[in-house]
Amino acid sequence: MTEPINDPGLLDTALHDRAMDWVLLLRSGQATTDDAEALQRWRHQSDLHEQAFVQAARVFRDLGALGAQLERRNERPFVTLVSSGARRMVSRRGFIGGAIAASVAGYMLVDPPLGMWPSLVELSADYRTAKGEQRDVLLAENVSAKLNTQTSLSVRSEGNTARVELITGEAAVTAKRQASDPLILVAGSGQISSTSAEFNVRCIDGAVQAICMDGAMTISQHGRSVQLLRGQQASYSSTEAVGVPSSVPDAVRATAWREKLLIFRDQPLAGVVSEVNRYRPGKIVVTNSDLGRRLVNGTFHTDKLDDFVAQVRQLFGADVRSLPGGIVLLS
């Protein structure tokens, strides 16, 4: 029988070692949905377990960022870790050196199959919501946000500077700052700055859409800046520059998620399913392209999506096949 660990120092080391094992498993590409569920159970055992995992994930994330920066400078990766616990975790896996260089191309991102669990970067966020969850958070002085489902956000503030990063997902942000210290929100390949505004920002797969609900905000990307005023929107991505501001055609529909509603107007089923998957457990996959192009009009409650598949079958006569792991095929 294993003796209980009474020494806080040994307990801390053991937790960090186990946390690093979890991170390495996620990065290996061999993790399964059962592994992801086991990880969640492990993290929920205590605050110490959660803190150990977040710290381990951040070590990998930060070393990956450093490796990418050094590669751009054509320098040899070299890292000195201050934390003795972190040094032990890294050395036990031979991570320093070759592993850093190997991680550069992926920038420490794990691409889970079918998006069945969050990526490593998302898991290391300061704030993260699960499927179907919403959360109100205070990000900095006079900066608050409501996080939508599957949203990951980190705080990068330094001193009085309010700086946050929307890693993925969607948030409704309210900022009331001094002109000398605006809120800076990084999303995808650009950033949003504002002193006084209410806005909705969405970042999914690097594509960003920002809607100004009140006040004013500025979007900056690759040296180009545009200002949004109340009732205006703009979008950009890693491959497309920020566009000219345009009027929001339906602000109620765009922000209905805050009332736990999804409103669709003449939207292809494939797009509807993609959005529903962000809220509903498991994964729905449309395997028939003709079915995917069928148009959907309707309002759905995000906490009542269990009947969604049955509704699609009834409306479009779709064939439904259920697979293990909560995967549903529509054809």
Decide: pTM greater than 0.85: no
Q: Long-range contacts made by residues 204-210, C-beta under 8 angstroms, separation at least 24? A: 204/168, 204/169, 204/170, 205/168, 206/237, 206/238, 207/235, 207/236, 207/237, 208/235, 208/236, 208/237, 209/233, 209/234, 209/235, 210/234, 210/235
Report the C-alpha gap between 206 and 209 in whole angstroms. 10
Report the C-alpha gap between 183 and 179 in whole angstroms. 9
Q: Long-range contacts made by residues 130-133, C-beta under 8 angstroms, separation at least 24? A: 131/278, 131/279, 131/280, 131/281, 132/279, 132/280, 132/281, 132/302, 132/303
Q: Which residue has better confidence, 65 or 60?
A: 60
The confidence score (pLDDT) of residue 65 equals: 47
Tokens in use for 150? Answer: 């599957």
| pLDDT for residue 30 is more than 90 | no
In percent, the amount of the chain with pLDDT more than 70 equals: 75
Q: Which residue has better confidence, 157 or 66?
A: 157
Q: Which residue has better confidence, 80 or 135?
A: 135
| pLDDT for residue 267 is more than 50 | yes
Region(s) of the chain under CATH 2.60.120.1440: 127-250
Report the C-alpha gap between 100 and 79 in whole angstroms. 9
Q: How high does pLDDT run on average in the chain?
A: 80
pLDDT band at 210 (very low <50, low <70, confident <90, very high): very high
Q: Which amino acid is at 202?
A: R
Residue 132: closest CA among 255, 265, 306, 280: 280
| pLDDT for residue 40 is more than 80 | no
Q: Which residue has better confidence, 64 or 271?
A: 271
pLDDT band at 122 (very low <50, low <70, confident <90, very high): low
Q: b/e for 1-38, b at 16 or more Cβ within 10 A?
A: eeeeeeeeeeeebebbbebbebbbbbbeeebebeebee
Residues 135, 141, 142: CA angle, nearest 5 degrees = 75
In percent, the amount of the chain with pLDDT more than 90 equals: 53
**195-212: average pLDDT:** 95
**181-208: average pLDDT:** 95
The confidence score (pLDDT) of residue 56 equals: 78
Residue 103: closest CA among 26, 203, 21: 26
CATH fold, domain 127-250, is Jelly Rolls (2.60.120)
**162-170: average pLDDT:** 92
| pLDDT for residue 323 is more than 80 | yes
**119-128: average pLDDT:** 71
pLDDT band at 295 (very low <50, low <70, confident <90, very high): very high
User: Which DSSP string do the residues of 287-315 spell out, in sequence order?
Assistant: --HHHHTSEEEEEEETT--TTHHHHHHHH
Region(s) of the chain under CATH 3.55.50.30: 260-330
**157-170: average pLDDT:** 86
Asked whether 133 and 90 are in contact (CB, 8 A), the reply is no
**114-130: average pLDDT:** 67
CATH 3.55.50.30 fits domain 260-330: yes
The confidence score (pLDDT) of residue 119 equals: 59
Asked whether 253 and 296 are in contact (CB, 8 A), the reply is no
